Amino acid sequence: MLSEDLIELAKERMRPYACEGFVRGRGPEAADLMFVGEAPGKTELEIGRPFIGQAGKIFSGYLDRLGVTRDEVFITSAVRSRPYKIVEKIVKGEPVTKNYNRTPNKKEILAHAPILDEEIRQVKPKLLIPMGKTAVWRLTGWDVSMQEVTGRLFEIPIMQLAGLDQPVYRLTEETYRVFPIYHPAAILYARRLETKAYQDIDRLKQLKDSL
């Protein structure tokens, strides 16, 4: 679906940064719901599919509660490569090198911006569902806490790259329906968010059922 040229361009632009691999967004050619995460992690890179690691289990729970399967929705993220950081530690007196997932930075998000823009253009989702702060920022430009925006429906222009040769964002002329929810990994780390997260999913189900 995405042109190989666009993927090559994103990979080329990502070259200066500590990011590896490329996991394509996944879903039907047209979907009512598009979930936008942050970036793939180690497991996603190994298997080549979005949201199948630890956070993926919570994400599957979201979908079950919504009454949809992975084949019915489009699943993607702000960045489609895995941002990593190498940390050297001494464990029991021995040096150990660990390679961790990390949050993508603004330059990395910009490098992959044409990918998400194109996915949105092609899939034409009726609802855009950013999961977590990175995705909310990428779509809206808002630097807000998730608490302020989760479970609320916004009808707004979104950020897209001004042009392939213009590395700045502009707001779209048309508006989109954007419904932010907690990133599934947030629940893994803070179980206290679970009740609110599932209330938001129930609200999302109402919206989906009324499409």
Using DSSP's 3-state secondary structure scheme, residue 49 falls into coil
Distance set, CA 118 to CA 9, 56, 84, 114 (Å): 13, 24, 25, 6
Interface segment toward ligand URA; rule CB under 6 A; list 45-53, 60-68, 92-100, 147-155: 45-53
Spatial separation of the C-alpha atoms in residues 201 and 112, rounded to whole Å: 28
Binding status of residue 113 toward ligand URA by CB under 6 A: no
Binding status of residue 51 toward ligand URA by CB under 6 A: yes
Choose between 20 and 157: whose C-beta lies nearer to ligand URA.
20
The token duo for 96 is: 């150990």
Interface segment toward ligand URA; rule CB under 6 A; list 13-21, 38-46, 147-155, 171-179: 38-46
Binding status of residue 37 toward ligand URA by CB under 6 A: yes
DSSP lists the bridge partners of residue 99 as: 86
Single out the residue of 22, 44, 176, 201 in contact with ligand URA (rule: CB under 6 A).
Answer: 44
How many alpha carbons fall within 13 Å on the CB side of residue 155? 1
Single out the residue of 25, 40, 130, 180 in contact with ligand URA (rule: CB under 6 A).
Answer: 40
CB count in 10 Å sphere of residue 63: 18
The token duo for 25 is: 């967004």
Binding status of residue 55 toward ligand URA by CB under 6 A: yes
Taking the complex as a whole, the smallest distance from the CB of residue 124 to ligand URA amounts, in Å, to: 22
Using DSSP's 3-state secondary structure scheme, residue 38 falls into coil
Choose between 5 and 83: whose C-beta lies nearer to ligand URA.
83
Binding status of residue 130 toward ligand URA by CB under 6 A: no
Binding status of residue 77 toward ligand URA by CB under 6 A: yes
> E strands along the chain, which residues?
19-20, 33-37, 74-77, 82-91, 94-101, 127-130, 154-156, 159-163, 166-171, 176-178
Interface segment toward ligand URA; rule CB under 6 A; list 32-40, 113-121, 149-157, 170-178: 32-40
Q: From 21, 26, 51, 20, select the one nearest 123 (Cα to Cα).
A: 26
Taking the complex as a whole, the smallest distance from the CB of residue 118 to ligand URA amounts, in Å, to: 18
Taking the complex as a whole, the smallest distance from the CB of residue 38 to ligand URA amounts, in Å, to: 4
Interface segment toward ligand URA; rule CB under 6 A; list 24-32, 33-41, 160-168, 199-207: 33-41
* Binding residues for ligand URA (CB under 6 A): 37-41, 44, 50-51, 53, 55, 77
